[in-house]
Amino acid sequence: MLKQMRKLTVELAEIAGKEKDGIIHRTFAHQNSSADRKDISKNDSFPEYVQKPFFTFEVLHESKRSRARACKITTPHGTIFTPAFVAVGTQGALKAVPHSVLDDANLDLMFANTYHLLLQPGHEHLQKAGGIHKFIGRNRPTISDSGGFQVFSLGLDADELDESKSPNKNNNDDKNNNNNNGERNHVGTGTKELKSRGKTKHKQQNLLEKVDEDGVTFRSYRDGTTLKLTPESSVQAQKNIGCDIILPLDELTKYDISLQELSESVDRSHRWETRSLYEHLKNVKEQAMYAIIHGGVDERLRKKSVEYLTSLPFDGYAIGGSLGKNREELKELLQFLMPIIPRDKPNHLLGIGDLPSIAHGVRMGVDSFDSAYPTQIARHGTLLSENGPVNYRKSEYREHFGKPAEILGNSSGDDECKCLLCRKHSLSYLAHLDRANEPMAWSLATEHNLHFMGRTMERHRQAIMNDEI
């Protein structure tokens, strides 16, 4: 049955390659011709998975008290110890701090966003530079996404569309804005989710133009150029970027779509991920590819996604799509999902970085987490601490001249925070820099939060080794 499903998936991918509208779009990478896809369709099954010598996975210890485990992932650019927090270097850079901070904070893996790197400086440019590791000067493990999350996030929610309209716009304008996304409604009703992308400077208008079987068409926020991303072009771009772990193109839908729409989206993601895997296996280039499990908070669809994707020779599994509207829904989802995901490969929870969710995810057996949350809140006035978030912009800290550890905790011992702020400065100095708009404020705060995440994950790893969680 699974073999037939794989064959059908490839046949659908072949159909998707046919010209639909006769419009020529600029694409990020060379598009496969119809002939190329016919060659692909002749392979009605994938080879059995064999662990690659350049990407190995080893379970160091499984807790006797929970599903938590401590593992080691070996990549061409170093080792990742899990559970791990993955810092987000959107454009190949951490905001406000150099890459060396990750090593100091004991964070092994960095996330790079394909969408942003495609637009600037371009994946061909990174290929000429010798790949992302040489380009950014960090010879440590990296992971890239397909670009899909950012592309689908370009679509505005219904309430955002209302806000973006001028008083003179009529109903026809509104209708056009809501119907230009192709076969599926990606604007939804705007329900807030645990993992959602808020309105940004790049999201002032609806830039998501069309979603069809072939891929997704959108406009660049930089210059308005019409672009198209397909499973094949996303993989080709990630090959040029050169991260150690890459992800297939998938479809991102909103939390509050209908069950039928969600089911269709899961099927489409499976077809796109299958095409991505075929493209990847043409030239592996010492890269691993994780599948992305979908299904929203619907257990039946999540189970279907696990069963299909685990039948294919992916190197690991990412948990994607909508993860619920709050932490409780995420908790319930992981309680159902983690026991049915195979434990012989690494897994990753996409886009989650808050401490309660990480703690529960670790107990359920999640290996790694990524989020821009710790670095983003640092630039907006918040330090992570043992006593909860600390808003360093509050007036009470303007005259706190003692060590920051007096407020943030961990003032002594091996677990002492070794960031520059905690070693050399005071919260009063940090507050002064922030009020003066000195970039050093955001550097100090960001470095502290990354160190905090590194220490937090090290505690989780040690607690697992000691069977404490």
Which residues sit opposite 217 in a β-bridge?
A: 210, 228
Spatial strand order in the sheet of 69-75: 56-62, 69-75, 78-82
pLDDT score at 400: 97
Asked if residue 368 and residue 237 are part of one domain, the reply reads yes
- Among 372, 401, 432, the domain boundary falls at 372
CB atoms within 10 A of CB 183: 12
- Among 350, 372, 394, the domain boundary falls at 372
Q: Is 329 exposed, middle or buried (0-12, 13-18, 19+ CB in 10 A)?
A: middle
For residue 76, give both structure tokens. Answer: 């061409």
With beta carbons less than 8 A apart as the criterion, state whether 278 and 43 touch. yes
Q: What is the largest CA-CA distance in the chain?
A: 71
Asked if residue 408 and residue 301 are part of one domain, the reply reads no
Which residues sit opposite 297 in a β-bridge?
A: none
pLDDT score at 244: 98
Residues with catalytic roles? 145, 370
Number of domains in the chain: 2
pLDDT score at 204: 58
CA distance 206 to 168: 18
Start-to-end C-alpha separation, the chain: 39
Asked if residue 119 and residue 240 are part of one domain, the reply reads yes
Quick one: which H or E segment has residue 270? Answer: helix 259-282
pLDDT score at 222: 83
Collapsed DSSP state (helix, strand, coil) of residue 240:
helix
pLDDT score at 131: 98
Q: Which amino acid is present at 12?
A: L
Pairing of strands 208-211, 142-144: unpaired
pLDDT score at 15: 36
Asked if residue 104 and residue 61 are part of one domain, the reply reads yes
pLDDT score at 165: 46
For residue 339, give both structure tokens. Answer: 């026991």
pLDDT score at 227: 86
Q: Which domain holds residue 409?
A: 381-443
pLDDT score at 412: 59
With beta carbons less than 8 A apart as the criterion, state whether 362 and 347 touch. no
Phi (first) and psi of residue 79, to 5 degrees:
-105, 145
In a domain, 44, yes or no: no
With beta carbons less than 8 A apart as the criterion, state whether 97 and 443 touch. yes
List of the chain residues with pLDDT < 70: 1-44, 155-191, 196-204, 410-413
pLDDT score at 200: 55
CB atoms within 10 A of CB 396: 11
Asked if residue 361 and residue 397 are part of one domain, the reply reads no
Residue 292 sits in a domain whose CATH number is 3.20.20.105
- Among 372, 401, 426, the domain boundary falls at 372
Asked if residue 406 and residue 263 are part of one domain, the reply reads no
With beta carbons less than 8 A apart as the criterion, state whether 121 and 106 touch. no
In our burial notation (b when 16+ CB lie closer than 10 A, e otherwise), range 10-39 reads bebbbebbeeeeeeebebbbebbeeebbee
Give every CB contact of residue 169 below 8 A, 6+ residues apart in sequence: none
With beta carbons less than 8 A apart as the criterion, state whether 413 and 421 touch. no
Asked if residue 360 and residue 298 are part of one domain, the reply reads yes
CB atoms within 10 A of CB 215: 25
In a domain, 307, yes or no: yes
